[in-house]
Chain A
Amino acid sequence: MVGVAREEYSIVGKPYAREDALDKVLGKPIFTADMIPKDAIFAAVVRSTRPHAKILRLNLQAALSTPGVIRFIDGHQVPGINNIGTLIRDKPLFCQDIVRCMGDPIGAILAENRGAAREGARQVEVEYEDLPAIFSPLEALDPKSVRVHPNGNICRHLKIRKGDVERGFQESDVIVENEYTTQMQEHAQLEPETAFALPPDQNGIITTVGPWQDTHDVQDAVALVMGRKSSEVRALQAQTGGAFGSRCNEIANELAALVCLSACITGKPTAVIMSREESMISHSKRHPFYMKYKTGAKRDGTLVAEEIQLVSDTGAYASAGPAVVMRAIVHCTGPYVVPNVKADSYGVYTNNPYAGSFRGFGCPQVHFAAESQMNYLAESLSMDPIALRRKNLLRPGSQTNTGHVLGKSVGLEECLSKVVDALGSMVIPPPEKRSARGIGVALGYHGNSLGPEGGDRCGAMLSIDANGHVEYMTGLAEYGTGARFAHGQIIAETLGISMNRIHALLPDSLRAPYSGPTVASRSTIMGGNAVLVASKKLRNVLSQEAARIFDCKPEEVDFRNDTVYCEKRSKNMKFDELAALCHKRGISLSDSSMYEAPKCEWNEETGLGVAYIDYTFEAVGTVVDVNLQTGYPQVVRIIGAYDCGKAINPLGVVGQVEGAIVQGLGYSVMEEICTKNGRILNPNLADYFIYTSAETPQIDTILVEGYPSISGPFGAKAMGEPPIDIVAPAVAQAIYNATGVRVKDLPAVPEKILLSKSNPD
């Protein structure tokens, strides 16, 4: 079913403004901090100021005598399990004996207002005995090094063994070897962590409201800490000010557990609002990577063998690190056919701030190395880097890094051609004086949804009222991407009704069916499939009733333009009339359905098999002007082409692309969490630079739609993360073409470019 015509659908594939934009432009009180109950008390967390230390004692005298302070709580007050770790239960809610990184929570001050809570927390004196600490993940690999956790510092090790790399290198005409590093990146989601909780109601249910990325995970984590059943905790998602992965890690569990614990102990609603500095110190970051690549190729450019070592620094806690280790190794060669691969991917504990989920999830790191490697190789072969890529790129029927023989849904070559054509036809004013211009191109791919990361299923709840209006809820959160409005388009398309009849609800963990986490760009695909199943079922119910009225067969009933038809009998009625009739006759127009993704067959021992059912393929081209006096790389134009399968809402997809590209530009040239001995040196938005409107270049997005996915609704593929994956290698290549400087350590900040230029190696 390649090349589905757009005209086939009346709603899917068309741009729609999102339903929640109205409240947002009016500044309505829809975010967590806007809804904190008037009688709430506030909590503020006391955090470790040491990277690795024993906690000897706490002196609370000054804190407790601070005006407004009610009391102090710590691990001793936890009725259940004092741990909030996600994939591995290695992170205490409150550290009791040992702190393993700066920012580790030790306890919390409860006070009458936010200012008093903060002041009280500042007044808590913690007496430490420092322990030897380790900050280099490469040194942490040594079994003799300081141990962050009792079982050693290797959090996870995965490998790929495919073919025979030794023979591959012997058969190669050219071999290039390089080392690359990538930095720690901060999500900088605009809304800092905020939450509140209400004490147990008459049924014993505790309610917590927050910007939750995964309401069911938060619910389970709170239940564990509180020693209660999950069904006794209700997690409600408020409108959420960005996430990018920051909210699905331990910090969400920490906040929710903290306010719930306080609400239960004090009997008072409890709120917490983090400062930006606390937010930046306490939530997970993008994993820094240390990468060694050895690549062998024939004289004509054909890739023969690749040996790769990836070391990711997960800091003091695993968080999503084990899954990042996996996604990184699956994508480590880039989107190319490489017959012989030996790869090792290690996730390593250190006493650095912990790393976890971040848009891209290991892919931006390995694509930077893999694509830079292709550029080195092209130079060694005196070959055009684009020609080298064309020679090796994944096509329909190609075999991936993990030995997965792809089907027809591979649009990579078309993406590359579209970008090359667009770069060729661009008219840009010449660079300013003392600037040099370069062009860079990069390719990438991104496995859709969870793959081997976990069981992949998603539920949806849908109901049609007597006016023919539809309400729906999945357990998937909405933190800005607008994926749930794509769900609405799928429902409207299936029921033949207009979008103004559709209303999306935010998840309530006690009502929404289990949906898995809102991660891995899976919302449109998984939630879209779930609402598709549910709306088809309701369409069948409606068809039965319409068939009775029209005196025809249910399969002869059609749904279009808010009307229900039988062409054969020349009969029709309004959708809302049919809905009203069903309600009168007691026919249920509610459904709750579960969609389960096809299983992946990936062998964890060999690293071989089908890691992901579908991949999003992509190409990026960029033009960068480097100021030769300041070294500043100004990206003047960027073009991305994406094999998105099918854009359910093109306006939403383009929004995801533009946002990811700009976040990726920051990652390329300016963003870096700097640490010294485990301390973050720039935990604020003045010293941590991110792109503003002034630097943002013109962005051109090309959506390639001829390669529908196997598993996505209407052939859609994941588009939330892929566009961030390959910005950095394209920019680095453009900088090289402008200046002759190869940046192998991100970010490509001006001083690196200037210093390399004056000291070429």
Chain B
Amino acid sequence: MSKVQSKQRIRIQVNGEWRSTEVEGDETLLDLLRNKLNLKGPKEGCGTGDCGACTIILDGKIVPSCLVYAATTDGSRITTIEGIGSAEKLHPLQQAFIQAGAVQCGFCIPGIIIAAKNLLDSNPSPTRTEVREALVGNICRCTGYVRIIEAVMMAAETMRSGRSGA
């Protein structure tokens, strides 16, 4: 991706809401989200795209937001952890992560739930192997992944039964 040098104004749709903001040429999408849009869900774990803690959905694809220049995202649609559920109405994944004991320190969790949501959006009935592969870009150092995979399977089932019941 080529670096955009100068300041520019961009419009992006973040969690369903259009936002207009001025960005520096070397500003990452992660910094824009965290510092200017006050969305602290995506985390900086490495800044080099290796850990997945900053994972967001950008135009339907998961990306590490630390590797994306904000200036290149003009016109894009972005979903962060803040956009998928609330304390009053948790996303089935959020509910399952709590119940399954998939959360320890929690630093990786916003990125992992986003990666899992992206999987379930396109594949509502994943196998355990598919879940493992979908989360390969997200490091968790606390849980050993077992309960995380369990939580995604649980959420997938909840979402399927929700759909068939609707």
Contact = CB atoms under 8 A, between A and B. Distances in A.
Q: Do the two chains bind?
A: yes
28 contacts: A15-B101, A18-B101, A20-B106, A24-B106, A25-B85, A25-B98, A26-B82, A26-B87, A31-B40, A34-B40, A188-B141, A189-B105, A190-B53, A190-B108, A191-B45, A239-B106, A241-B105, A651-B101, A655-B101, A655-B104, A658-B143, A663-B141, A685-B46, A686-B48, A690-B141, A694-B132, A694-B133, A696-B144
Contacts of A661: 144
B144 A662 contact: yes
B90 interface: yes
B70 interface: no
Nearest to B134: A693
Contacts of B34: 33-34
Contacts of B138: 692-693
A691 B142 CA distance: 11
A168 B133 CA distance: 54
Interface in B41-84: 41-48, 50-51, 53, 80-82
A693 B85 contact: no
Contact of B145 (A30, A189, A696): A696
Contacts, number: 180
B107 A27 contact: no
Interface in B115-153: 131-133, 135-149
B40 A693 contact: no
Interface stretch (A452-460, A478-486, A597-605): A478-486
Contacts of A188: 139, 141
B131 to A, nearest CB: 7
Grouping DSSP codes into helix (H, G, I), strand (E, B) and loop, the A interface class, with mixed when no group exceeds half, is loop
A685 B139 contact: yes
Interface of A: 15, 17-18, 20-31, 33-34, 187-192, 239-244, 273, 275-276, 479-482, 651-652, 654-655, 658-663, 684-686, 690-694, 696, 698-699
B136 A694 contact: yes
Nearest to B131: A693
A241 B132 CA distance: 22
A25 B109 contact: yes
Given A21-B106, A190-B107, A480-B104, 16 more contacts: A18-B103, A24-B109, A26-B90, A27-B80, A28-B40, A33-B40, A191-B45, A191-B107, A241-B107, A654-B147, A659-B143, A692-B136, A692-B139, A693-B131, A693-B135, A696-B146
B46 A684 contact: yes
Contacts of B53: 190
Nearest to A15: B101
Contact of A33 (B44, B87, B98): B44
Contacts of B108: 190, 241
Contacts of A21: 97-98, 103, 106
Given A652-B101, A658-B147, A696-B146, A189 B47 contact: no
B2 interface: no
Interface residues of B, number: 54
B86 interface: yes
B45 A481 contact: no
A684 B149 CA distance: 26
Contacts of A482: 104
B89 to A, nearest CB: 11
Contact of B141 (A15, A29, A189): A189
B99 interface: yes
B156 interface: no
A234 B53 CA distance: 30
A658 B108 CA distance: 16
Given A244-B141, A480-B104, A693 B48 contact: no
Contacts of A275: 47
Interface in B12-58: 34, 39-48, 50-51, 53
A693 B148 contact: yes
A699 B44 CA distance: 29
A22 B110 CA distance: 11
A684 B139 CA distance: 13
Contacts of A693: 131-133, 135-136, 138, 140, 145, 148-149
A659 B144 contact: yes
Contacts of B148: 693
A247 B133 CA distance: 31
Given A188-B141, A693-B138, A480 B44 contact: no
A659 B97 CA distance: 16
Contacts of A192: 44-46
Contacts of A652: 101
A685 B48 contact: yes
B142 to A, nearest CB: 5
Given A242-B142, A685-B51, A27 B82 contact: yes
